[in-house]
């Protein structure tokens, strides 16, 4: 699949992979700052942003999309930064193509599966996706109307504003989702999937896990699962940040990444 991407700067290649409902557009400010030292590639994963839509969405495909992208760009090895779903893509990629990874940085996601029926993440995403999928755009004339509809089920303004970045308007002033909400709804179980519990150790390059101090995506008990697969991984916390740490604490997020890469 030919992924849409943005490129900034020169130097060692660094690829940033967004999370669920995200796109390369969310990472432009971070990418531009990192481009002072690196050639930064911001990709849109399939079914997101400006990349093609598909009826399938799982990490076997997402990791192959990344491999194909690197091959087309003649990138032999790269620093890979992945947030949330993008972090899972990065981990699956590192498990299958470790020779293509120079440094791995995973933002606020662990290798575990989040598919448990009582998982807070699964319940939250199920609600968000249901609301997005069932939203009827007929007769809507403004983004504020869309926000008002979303607010009935999604009270968190920050989450709604993030979701609204996926709204597009046609030349006929008709609104729709830019991401493939139908496939995302159908494939949510695959998106919540984790690495195989019997995954062998992944070593050979530095690994950093960043977790939001206010997020429940990486819990204290998840440290064992991380270290089982990535035995030499560093795990650091970004205080006063939730799951979207790069938006809530961008300066500290950047500092953590740069210090780890350039150390």
Which residues are CB-neighbours of 199 under 8 A, at least 6 positions away?
95, 111, 229
Which residues pair with residue 167 across a beta bridge? Answer: 177
H helices of 58-172, in order, are 59-72, 85-96, 120-134, 143-151, 157-164
Residues 6+ positions from 222 with CB-CB distance below 8 Å: 110, 112
Q: Using CA atoms, how far apart are residues 234 and 121, in angstroms rounded to an integer?
A: 24
How many Cα atoms sit within 13 Å of 18 on the Cβ side?
A: 29
Residue 53 is a catalytic residue: no
Cα torsion for 124, 221, 92, 167, to the nearest 10°? 20
Catalytic residue among 23, 35, 84, 215: 84
CA atoms of 30 and 9, how far apart (whole Å)? 12
Of 57, 125, 243, 246, the active-site residue reads 243
- Within 10 angstroms of residue 195's Cβ, the number of other Cβ atoms is 20
Distances (CA, A) of 94 to 87, 98, 172: 10, 5, 44
Residue 74 in contact with residue 10, Cβ under 8 Å? no
Residue 243: active-site member: yes
Report, as residue numbers or ranges, the catalytic residues: 84, 243
């Amino acid at each position: 699949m030919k992924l849409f991407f943005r490129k900034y700067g020169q130097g060692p290649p660094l690829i940033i992979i967004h999370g669920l409902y995200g796109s390369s557009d969310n990472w432009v400010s971070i990418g531009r700052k990192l481009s002072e030292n690196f050639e930064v590639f911001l990709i849109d994963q399939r079914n997101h942003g400006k990349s093609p839509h598909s009826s399938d969405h799982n990490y076997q495909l997402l990791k192959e999309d990344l491999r194909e992208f690197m091959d087309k760009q003649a990138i032999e090895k790269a620093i890979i930064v992945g947030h949330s779903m993008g972090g899972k893509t990065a981990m699956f990629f590192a498990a299958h193509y470790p020779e293509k990874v120079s440094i791995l940085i995973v933002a606020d996601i662990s290798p575990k599966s989040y598919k448990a029926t009582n998982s807070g993440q699964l319940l939250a995403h199920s609600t968000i996706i249901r609301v997005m999928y069932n939203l009827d755009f007929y007769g809507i004339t403004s983004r504020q109307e869309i926000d008002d509809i979303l607010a009935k089920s999604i009270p968190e303004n920050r989450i709604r504003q993030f979701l609204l970045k996926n709204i597009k308007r046609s030349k006929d002033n008709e609104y729709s989702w830019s991401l493939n909400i139908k496939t995302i709804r159908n494939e949510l179980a695959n998106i919540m999937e984790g690495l195989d519990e019997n995954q062998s150790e992944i070593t050979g390059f530095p690994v950093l896990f960043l977790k939001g101090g206010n997020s429940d995506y990486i819990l204290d008990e998840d440290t064992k699962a991380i270290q089982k697969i990535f035995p030499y991984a560093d795990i650091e916390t970004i205080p006063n940040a939730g799951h979207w740490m790069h938006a809530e604490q961008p300066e500290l997020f950047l500092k953590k990444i740069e210090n780890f890469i350039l150390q």
